[in-house]
Amino acid sequence: MPHISYHRSHRSGWLRAAVLGANDGILSTSSLLIGVASSNADHASILIAGIAGLVAGSMGMAAGEYVSVSSQADTENADLELERKGLETNLDYEYAELTAIYVERGLEPGLAREVAKQLMARDALGAHARDEIGISDTQSARPLQAALASGVSFTIGALLPLAGAVVVTGPGLIPIIASTSLAFLAGLGALAARAGGASLIKGASRVLFWGALAMAVTAGVGALVGGPVAP
């Protein structure tokens, strides 16, 4: 039975947006809650800050991802239009250009010419988009998909520490939010690493480090700012 390889590159667009959104949702919301709690704010103020952070963060992530990926899509479309015009006005040059690409990649000149000829006969623009520009169906920019993945995953991530703030009050709020959020971040890092075929330990440890640092800094800022302004 032939060996079947399962590649992961087709996931890169939505997976990157989803992981980034969930990670940011957990980290920014937990840090916000810890910072506000460190300022000796009352429980209602902590929850209001968390909810506001969730709504603003999810919308901001979705909008930012949509704008960013749309810019990428605009660039891709502009490059494709240049290639389309080139194929219409100077087909021989485009054929020679594609042949040279295959020669540079290691094919013999005769074979490179034949490959270029056959691929251009089937889909000239697709061949140039893939091998000259680096645009393929699996890697092309999808703004709406990225925005939805980012916004929804941010909301899910933000709900995790926010749920802890709803249930826990008093002195135990900060340690509970910090510990559970770090656990969620470690799990998310490991899950993302597994989906991408990387080391689970490496994926978990890097988000743990930056997550703990962000929470510690925010808690310090909250304590410093909350002391002077507290009634």
Model pLDDT for residues 15-65, shown as the tens digit of each residue: 667 777 888 999 999 999 999 999 989 999 999 999 999 999 999 989 988
| Residue 31 domain boundaries | 9-229
Residue 54 placed within a domain: yes
18 domain residue, yes or no? yes
* Domain-embedded: residue 66: yes
Overall domain count for the chain:
1
- Identify which has the larger pLDDT, 201 or 6: 201
What's the token pair of residue 79? Answer: 């490059």
**Which band of pLDDT confidence, cut at 50, 70 and 90, is reported for residue 159?**
very high
Answer whether residue 2 is part of any domain.
no
56 domain-assigned: yes
Least confident of 43-47, 71-75, 103-107: 71-75
Query: Would you say residue 72 lies in a domain?
Result: yes
The distance of Cα 167 from the centroid of its chain, to the nearest Å, equals: 30
pTM, to two decimals: 0.71
Give the closest residue to 136 by CA, choosing from 120, 125, 121, 122. 125
Q: Tell me, yes or no, whether 99 lies in a domain.
A: yes
Tokens for 86? 């080139």
Residue 1 included in any domain:
no
At residue 140, φ and ψ (nearest 5 deg) are: -70, 155
